Structure 1
């Protein structure tokens, strides 16, 4: 049983999605007919981006670039479209061209960092976030994204420092974004075994956004670590109300019920967890949950 419990604790770390930068502003029109045509394609590309038609946006930005090889905004926006399509190498090429044409473009550096992050090149991602901060020391997105990269590099103290700076700079009206930051800072504290500090951050995140099932799950994990299984069950129940297919929440709640001596509910939740793991084709977790179920049933039979 201890092996699965350890596995489930490792599943508590749920990082938020990175913040995407908005499309760059269109260049001013000129009287040159070729430039006007390029800008018409550019505007069409921006409209496609707003409709989330990213492939069509790439095509329009490419036409704009064909007509104007120095169209920095077209490269920048095509980079963003490639990011949305998951074509990170192409995004790096376009954003690199953008900063060559406009070294002051913080959005391009931010997107470069995101593309490198998605490819697992955290050092390159951090270098680009450094550049954003150098150009604009108050851009909270760069600190936040750098914190995520530092977390993946297991530089947890550096990540905490960046999360703190993010919270100092984030606008007061960005409540959902602030909730993400508190959730991520909480998960980092959880990694560092600061369970009470993690719970405090998850409390703040939930106060700002009561609809994020991940935060309830993470707070439940922290409460399980300090053996507060009743509180963990309450949070896992809310998480399941928000996400009824959350296999990990069923599994963790089953473990919590077992710790409180409620074997019937424990077995019921673990069976639900196994069913959802199977539907999600997570065969490893499915088999481990079945093994735990078998072990608990054997113990219950022996006790009976």
Structure 2
């Protein structure tokens, strides 16, 4: 369960002359400060690096890493500017579009974030970045109640990574909202297979089974009919989900 790009240490060309070693030191100090949570210090390190070097790849990494540090302290507009500079230096690096999309999302520029993620998906040039972009598109579309789009995002995601329980849960929720209960039960079941203690998936699968029973007008199914659903609801409760107590009372404990 994901999905944030990590600050990566990309070692600079060790053939750089001795006079440029301070640049390497600035870069590594910035990485160290970022990893230790000293984001303001990291920003200073990367700013000095950017000001002192002309080499394209190093400047790009400086902008990317400074953008990641700025995002951490909620300087989203400045982070977006840094990722845009990185993209200007290398528009083939899909990671910068994902990073910029995340900062836009954090800033509340949801439409703009979707454009960055969709660009990565359309380019289809890097599976890892495609995976991240599809994940965030599914999350955003779910929050916007674009459930058919969520299902499409998840279907495309599973072509890259078919072992992510969270995305099966997200697709299951979308199918629930579209009243595709049989399919949502399948999605929650796969999520549980991949992550056996996924209590939210047990809760939702139990509720979907109840909805499947009551969808044809059978408002109060028998205990025999709800037995399977009640197993899921009980499991969710034992794993710590208190939200299922009302369903358990109505369909599992109350005499039918």
Q: Shorter-chain TM-score category?
A: 0.7 to 0.9
Q: Which residue of 98, 107, 123 maps to 2:61? A: 107
CA distance in 2, matches of 1:120, 1:273: 35
Gaps of 5+ in 2: 214-224
Q: Greater relative contact order: 1 or 2 (C-alpha under 8 angstroms, separation 6 or more)?
A: 1
Q: Which residue of 45, 48, 52 maps to 1:94? A: 45
Aligned to 1:186: 138
Q: Kindly state the Cα deviation for residue 121 of structure 1 after the two structures are TM-superposed.
A: 2.6
Q: Which residue of 245, 263, 269 maps to 2:197? A: 245
Q: Report 1:242-281 matches (<5 A).
A: 242-261=194-213, 263-277=226-240
CA distance in 2, matches of 1:145, 1:134: 14
Q: Which residue of 147, 163, 167 maps to 2:117? A: 163
Q: Report 1:62-101 matches (<5 A).
A: 71-101=22-52
**What is the RMSD computed on CA atoms of the aligned residues?**
2.5
Listed one character per residue, the Cα deviations across residues 95-148 of structure 1 (whole Å, up to 9, x for unaligned) are 222212226411111111112222333222212111112222232111111111
Q: Kindly state the Cα deviation for residue 214 of structure 1 after the two structures are TM-superposed.
A: 1.8
Secondary structure of 1:71's aligned partner:
helix
Q: Kindly state the Cα deviation for residue 302 of structure 1 after the two structures are TM-superposed.
A: 4.4
Q: Kindly state the Cα deviation for residue 70 of structure 1 after the two structures are TM-superposed.
A: 6.4
Secondary structure of 2:162's aligned partner:
coil
TM-score, reference length from structure 1: 0.70
Note if contact 1:19-1:141 (Cα within 8 Å) is conserved in structure 2: no
Aligned to 2:86: 132
Q: Report 1:263-302 matches (<5 A).
A: 263-277=226-240, 286=241, 288-289=242-243, 292-293=244-245, 295-300=246-251, 301-302=253-254
CA distance in 2, matches of 1:214, 1:134: 34
CA distance in 2, matches of 1:119, 1:266: 44
Q: Which runs of structure 1 show a deviation greater than 4 angstroms over 4 or more consecutive aligned residues?
A: none
TM-score, reference length from structure 2: 0.82
Q: Which residue of 2, 9, 15 maps to 1:28? A: 15
Note if contact 2:95-2:129 (Cα within 8 Å) is conserved in structure 1: no
Higher mean C-alpha displacement, 228-237 vs 254-263 = 254-263
Listed one character per residue, the Cα deviations across residues 38-61 of structure 1 (whole Å, up to 9, x for unaligned) are xxxxxxxxxxxxxxxxxxxxxxxx
CA distance in 1, matches of 2:227, 2:73: 45
Evaluate the alpha carbon distance shift between residue 276 and residue 101 of structure 1 in structure 2; reply closer, same or farther with a 3 A threshold: farther
- Matched positions, count: 241
Q: Kindly state the Cα deviation for residue 231 of structure 1 after the two structures are TM-superposed.
A: 1.0
Q: Kindly state the Cα deviation for residue 161 of structure 1 after the two structures are TM-superposed.
A: 0.8
CA distance in 2, matches of 1:253, 1:19: 33
